[in-house]
Amino acid sequence: MGIHVIKMPDLGEGIAEVEVVAWHVQPGDTVKEDQVLADVMTDKATVEIPSPVAGTITSLGGAVGQSLAVGAELIRLEVEGAGNFSGEKAKQEPVKSAAATAPAEEVGDPQLAAVAHAEASNGAAAKAAAPAAPPPPKAPAPQSRAYQNGPVPMRADGEKPLAAPAVRQRAWDLGIELQFVHGSGPAGRITHADLDAHVAGRRGAGTGAGSDNRYAKLEGEHASPVIGLRRKIAEKMQEAKRQIPHFTYVEEIDVTELELLRAQLNARYGAERGKLTLLPLLMRAVVLAIRQYPMMNARYDDANNLLTQYDPVHLGIAAQTEAGLMVPVVRHAEARDPWDSAAEVARLADAARTGKATREELSGSTITITSLGPLGGIVTTPVINRPEVAIIGTNRIVDRPVIRDGAMVARKMMNLSSSFDHRVIDGQVAAKFIQTIRGYLETPATIFVE
Q: Where are the alpha helices (DSSP H) in 244-360?
A: 256-273, 278-292, 338-353
Torsion of CA 93, 97, 99, 102, to 10 degrees: 50
Active-site residue 421, yes or no? Answer: no
- Report the sign of the C-alpha dihedral through residues 199, 200, 206, 212, in that order: negative
- Report the sign of the C-alpha dihedral through residues 307, 308, 311, 312, in that order: negative
Spatial neighbors of 414 by CB under 8 A, at least 6 apart, are: 252, 253, 255, 394, 395, 396, 397, 398
In angstroms, the CA 412 to CA 270 distance is 22
193 CB-contact burial (10 Å; exposed 0-12 / middle 13-18 / buried 19+): exposed
Q: Which of 39, 59, 57 is nearest to 49 (CA)?
A: 39
> What is the per-residue DSSP string for 108-165?
TSHHHHTT--PPPP--HHHHHHSPPPPPPPPPPPPPP-TTTSS---SS-TTPPPPB-H
In angstroms, the CA 182 to CA 147 distance is 12
Active-site residue 422, yes or no? Answer: yes
In angstroms, the CA 199 to CA 188 distance is 18
Q: How many CB atoms lie within 10 A of CB 296?
A: 25
Instruction: Point out the catalytic residue in the list 24, 222, 246, 422.
Output: 422
Burial of 375-408, coded b for 16+ CB within 10 Å and e otherwise, reads ebeeebebbbbbbbbbbbbbbebeeeeeeeeeee
Contact criterion met (CB below 8 Å) for 227 and 65: yes
3-state SS, residue 338: helix
> What is the per-residue DSSP string for 165-225?
HHHHHHHHHHT--GGGS---SGGG-B-HHHHHHHHHHHHHHTTSTT---TT----------
Catalytically active residues are 422, 426
